[in-house]
Structure 1
Amino acid sequence: MRWPLTDAARVVAEARVRQGWSRVRAAWFPILQAAVAGSIAFAVGHSLLGHPYPFFAPVSAWIALGFTSDRPLRRVAELSVGVALGVGLGDLVVHVIGTGWWQVAVVLFASAVIARFIDRGAMLTTQAGVQAIVIVGLPALGASGGPLGRWTDALVGGAVALAVAVLTPSDPRRRTRAMARVGVEELAGVLRTLARGLAAGRPSDVEDALVRGRASQPTFDEWLDTATGARDLARVSPAARRHRDELTALVQAAVLSDRAMRNARVLTRRALPLLDPGPTEHDLHAVGATVVDIAAATDDLADSLATGRTPDRARARLVAAAQRLDPFVLAPDDWQVQSLVLLQRSLVVDLLEIAGVSPRDAREVLPPI
């Protein structure tokens, strides 16, 4: 079946807008912090150090802090030291042997070797090399504050970034929880759109649900990456170690939610041909009603993941929905509709596992067939 391009584009655009606003909501305050830190670093370099153009002070602060709330001190320190090391070596090379193609090779080699000696962090080495290249590549007129002016500017920016990271410690669960809410709400939205299409017999709604489900994949990928990074941080950070169990559960929830969305897409794709007008009619109202119940329980699950509360309400609603998923009761004479019920059973098992039910107990809730 060929879908109207405008309808598919609209659904994809809506999904992209939702994902974009989700990223903005999660990142606007860390971005504000980094912007203010950059301005403070510039002011310190200009007013206290007397440098006319302390360019590398805000550069160092911005690079070290970044634009997310995930700011472990080790990473901030790595980036700060890397920037300062690269700028310092670049200044030294420029003032001793000048600029040119072979000087770039010298400063890259020296900065990487020294960075690897100082610490194992890859970001430190990368930033040292990049900043050294920038310094060697800039004309001498770009320097301010004497031979080591750009180096001291980089030190100021790194110091400001470290101060911000220390004074505003971040909870590694915050962004992971926010991503969990967005991902599971996307799943619930797909199920609601599917249920509306099944209830009204509108293929266009089912098509929208399928397009939305496909467009949501970047959300689940980002959630898994964020959760994995936060879990790894909790393994080594004393401050975050107490959250390790929840972060591990959020990683598992990301994997299961991705699987649940894939099951929802299969369910939607399988339902679409049954709505085409033809000689065979299918009664999809019962299936649509169970999808509505699963969508409502999924919304409750999103709230629980976002707040860290035990998903008792979501679990109870999912169990109630699962107990009704008997294909021979919902569609006793229609094997094609029965196949939709079987797909819902897989979906509900995934959601129950996200809600903390063991795989075996989740399967046992389903009616035997």
Structure 2
Amino acid sequence: MVAVPETLVRRTRARLRDRLHRVRMNLLLALQTGVAAGLAWLVAHDVVGHRAPFFAPIAAVITLAVSVGQRLRRAFELVFGVAIGIAVRDVLIYLIGTGPAQIGLVVALAIVTAIFVGSGSALITQAASSAVLVATLTPPSNGISYGRFVDAMIGGLVGLGVMALLLPLNPLTVVGRAARPALGVLAHGLIETADALAARDGERAEAVLARLRASEGDVRRLQEAIDAASETASLAPVRWRTRGALNQYVDGAEHAARALRNGRVLVRRAIALIDDGEVAPPHLVDAVRSLGESVEWLEKELAEAQEPVACRERALRAANEAGLAYAAGVGFSGSVIVAQVRSTAIDLVRASGLEPDEARRLVRRAVGRSGGEPQRSAAVEGDE
């Protein structure tokens, strides 16, 4: 019997876990879409009385299948796109008949009309596909028909209704799941960089930098989750009470992304400091570690819908420690790290909910208490 390599077993288990995780994350979306498709058919067929309202469940599925956070806009684009496609198709096919040339002309004119109206690719796609569908499946025999447009409108509205009223996502749960990896990689990376500085372990810092560079996708998914959560909190009455806590995420996401970029520059310079044999004063190590703790507290306090007071306190502590390190004397790379600590501290204080002027004033005061200020020009460095 052939033995299965252990690495293959581990890789297979990891893939299986990842796929099961994705299923769990999208289970509610699948349930929403299935319920919406069935309800759309029921309303169009049994309530409105259309014999074969195939556009209704299609519209419901498309409305819920587009990028979460854009469903309201996409629903309107869907309805108007279908309206344009059907209108152009009905008029032309009724006048000039059916055939390959007529279908090509209908599609071209539907796209031109959608572009003239002005909107995104969804409207253009729906205009063209709707023209094709009705031209080939149900060509008109008794003049212009409005039933397919009504079906599309029913499907779009049912899709939005299911999302907003029947099975609305919890906005804070959606954002919290996305924030955990986005903020976690920065928090752990900064703390590990502090340990690497203390141990003068360049390879460890290099590994941190690689993880931070790979985390842009996590930041992008956090922004997408915020967009989705904001949409749900606006449309779903049962989720309106989450809007206050959600606003903290909205305010903090941009500054957390900036903190990640500043953190990458900091780690790059930590690697240079180790390679060049520069001194890393204990206060410098403590400053970087305090930044990591600040990010940890930011994730925790946002998840618990609390004002990020502990995050702010740790960020100011980091600025103070950086000032102490600068006053004690650091080399060129050390001064860049000090400047990056200061910049990242401002980002985190901003993420905690303070206005720009107040955040800069508090960080400046924290650094000033230490008896030294780094040169601002030291922080100007590319993030390759």
Report the TM-score, using the length of structure 1 for normalisation: 0.70
Cα 1:174/1:113, change in 2 over 3 Å:
farther
Which residue number corresponds to residue 363 of structure 1? 364
Q: Which moved more, 1:191-200 or 1:245-254?
A: 245-254
Cα 1:25/1:342, change in 2 over 3 Å:
farther
Partner amino acid for 1:105?
L
Q: Tell me the distance in 2 between the aligned counterparts of 1:253 and 1:127.
A: 35
Cα 1:49/1:81, change in 2 over 3 Å:
same
Q: Tell me the distance in 2 between the aligned counterparts of 1:101 and 1:331.
A: 81
Q: Tell me the distance in 1 between the aligned counterparts of 2:90 and 2:269.
A: 64
Cα 1:45/1:89, change in 2 over 3 Å:
farther
- Quick one: percent identity of the two aligned structures? 29
Q: Does 1:344 align with 2:345?
A: no
Q: Is the 8 A contact 2:84 2:110 kept in 1?
A: no
Cα 1:89/1:106, change in 2 over 3 Å:
closer
Alignment of 1:1-369 (within 5 A): 28-41=27-40, 51=52, 55-67=54-66, 69-70=68-69, 73=72, 75-83=74-82, 86-87=85-86, 89-90=88-89, 93-94=92-93, 97-106=97-106, 108-109=108-109, 113=113, 122=120, 125-135=123-133, 140=136, 142-143=137-138, 154=152, 156-168=154-166, 175=174, 179-224=178-223, 250-276=249-275, 280=277, 282-283=279-280, 286-328=283-325, 332=329, 334=331, 336-357=333-354, 358=358, 359-366=360-367, 367-369=370-372
Q: Shift of the alpha carbon at 1:187?
A: 1.8
Q: Shift of the alpha carbon at 1:185?
A: 2.4
Deviations 1:218-265 (A, max 9, x none): 33345456657977999x989799988876664543332222112111
Cα 1:44/1:341, change in 2 over 3 Å:
same
Q: Which runs of 5+ in 2 are unaligned?
A: 1-13, 373-384
Q: Tell me the distance in 2 between the aligned counterparts of 1:37 and 1:21.
A: 24
Q: Tell me the distance in 2 between the aligned counterparts of 1:268 and 1:157.
A: 51
Cα 1:344/1:94, change in 2 over 3 Å:
same
Partner amino acid for 2:302?
L
Q: Tell me the distance in 1 between the aligned counterparts of 2:321 and 2:198.
A: 18
Cα 1:174/1:60, change in 2 over 3 Å:
same
Q: Shift of the alpha carbon at 1:113?
A: 4.6
Q: Is the 8 A contact 2:185 2:212 kept in 1?
A: yes
Cα 1:56/1:238, change in 2 over 3 Å:
closer
Partner amino acid for 2:159?
A
Cα 1:244/1:121, change in 2 over 3 Å:
farther
Q: Shift of the alpha carbon at 1:365?
A: 1.9
Partner amino acid for 1:206?
A
- In the alignment of these two chains, the number of paired residues is 343
Q: Is the 8 A contact 2:63 2:71 kept in 1?
A: no
Partner amino acid for 1:59?
I
Cα 1:182/1:79, change in 2 over 3 Å:
farther
Deviations 1:283-330 (A, max 9, x none): 465533332222122111012234432112222222333322224478
Partner amino acid for 1:163?
G
Q: Shift of the alpha carbon at 1:45?
A: 7.1
Q: Is the 8 A contact 1:83 1:154 kept in 2?
A: yes
What RMSD, in angstroms, separates the aligned Cα atoms of the two structures?
Answer: 4.7
Deviations 1:112-162 (A, max 9, x none): 658977xx76577435423334326x7x4x459998686665455335324
Report the TM-score, using the length of structure 2 for normalisation: 0.68
Cα 1:62/1:233, change in 2 over 3 Å:
closer
Partner amino acid for 1:294?
L
Cα 1:368/1:303, change in 2 over 3 Å:
same
